């Protein structure tokens, strides 16, 4: 007996309702205007459970901050970005004179392929290209990332770490901090920049708990920026609208005479 001859019968139990399966979103593109007037076009993956299909507020703001302070933060520096998404901040550092840039995200083939596509299609990058994309799990051994560094830096680590809009993932805070400890060069000039927006304002204290963890882990924590965006990123979200439009920027530096990390 066919389903068509059994309308309303048992056969319909296995017939999904109309519209049950949502069509997957196609990859998109987004543009970013640099402070010197250049336009960067970035590829974004389609709908992705790891949130790589969006260009986040903190990614834009930290990119502007890096460009504003390129003489001190970027020129001649080695850079590592964690949880990069489309990799905008990393591209900004590579364009503006970084010695070597490693841009990473969760080792999902689609995410890493998209990062490499953004590198390939960026006409503003120097030649030879000074930026590479790799998959990396937070908290894991970073030897594969250090391998890209010049010989003198392989053991020392990176001058600058970039973390943009990662703090919402509260269960991963300790792994994030461990990655910072394992990759940041241990000298007074090295730093990790952590920028975020509290998209869920009622969980702001949990976002900020990362910085308590960092202090306990041997870092000096300094708030360096607070910028209010023109509009919220997610209109349908609830909670304080001003907070949902605000990007907070923090700098982490190793406390002098802090313990070595393994």
Q: Is 138 annotated as a binding residue?
A: yes
214 annotated as ligand-binding: no
Taken in order 185, 188, 193, 198, the sign of the CA dihedral is positive
d(CA 256, CA 148): 28
221's CB contacts (< 8 A; 6+ apart) are 211, 214, 215, 250, 251, 252
- Nearest C-alpha neighbor of 23 from the set 7, 40, 55, 47: 47
Angle, helices 204-216/173-183, rounded to nearest 10 degrees: 40
| 164 annotated as ligand-binding | yes
CA angle 221-207-159, nearest 5°? 40
Is 217 annotated in a binding site? The answer is no
Residue 173: both structure tokens together? 């805070």
**Structural element, H or E, at residue 30:** strand 28-33
> Length of the chain in residues, anyone?
262
152 annotated to a ligand binding site:
no
Any binding-site annotation on 157? no
202 is in an annotated binding site: no
Task: Give the annotated binding-site residues for S-adenosyl-L-methionine.
Answer: 56, 83-85, 105, 138, 164
Task: Give the annotated binding-site residues.
Answer: 56, 83-85, 105, 138, 164
């Amino acid at each position: 007996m066919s389903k068509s001859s059994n309308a309303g019968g048992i056969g319909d139990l296995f017939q999904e309702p109309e519209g049950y399966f949502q069509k997957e979103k196609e990859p998109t593109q987004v543009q970013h205007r640099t402070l010197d007037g250049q336009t960067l076009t970035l590829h974004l993956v389609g709908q992705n459970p790891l949130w790589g299909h969006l260009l986040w507020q903190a990614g834009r703001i930290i990119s502007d901050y890096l460009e504003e302070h390129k003489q001190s933060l970027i020129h001649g520096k080695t850079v590592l970005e964690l949880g990069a998404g489309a990799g905008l901040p990393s591209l900004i550092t590579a364009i503006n004179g970084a010695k070597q840039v490693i841009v990473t995200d969760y080792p999902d083939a689609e995410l890493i392929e998209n990062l490499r596509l953004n590198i390939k299609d960026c006409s503003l990058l120097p030649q030879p290209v000074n930026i590479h994309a790799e998959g990396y799990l937070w908290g894991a051994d970073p030897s594969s990332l250090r391998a890209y560094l010049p010989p003198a830096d392989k053991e020392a680590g990176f001058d600058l770490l970039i973390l943009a809009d990662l703090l919402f993932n509260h269960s991963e805070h300790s792994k994030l901090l461990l990655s910072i400890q394992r990759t940041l060069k241990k000298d007074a000039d090295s730093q990790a920049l952590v920028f975020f927006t509290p998209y869920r304002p009622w969980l702001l204290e949990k976002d900020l708990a990362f910085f308590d963890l960092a202090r306990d882990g041997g870092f000096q924590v300094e708030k360096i920026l607070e910028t209010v965006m023109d509009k919220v990123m997610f209109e349908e979200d609830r909670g304080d609208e001003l907070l949902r439009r605000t990007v907070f920027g923090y700098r982490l530096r190793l406390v002098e005479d802090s313990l070595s990390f393994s």
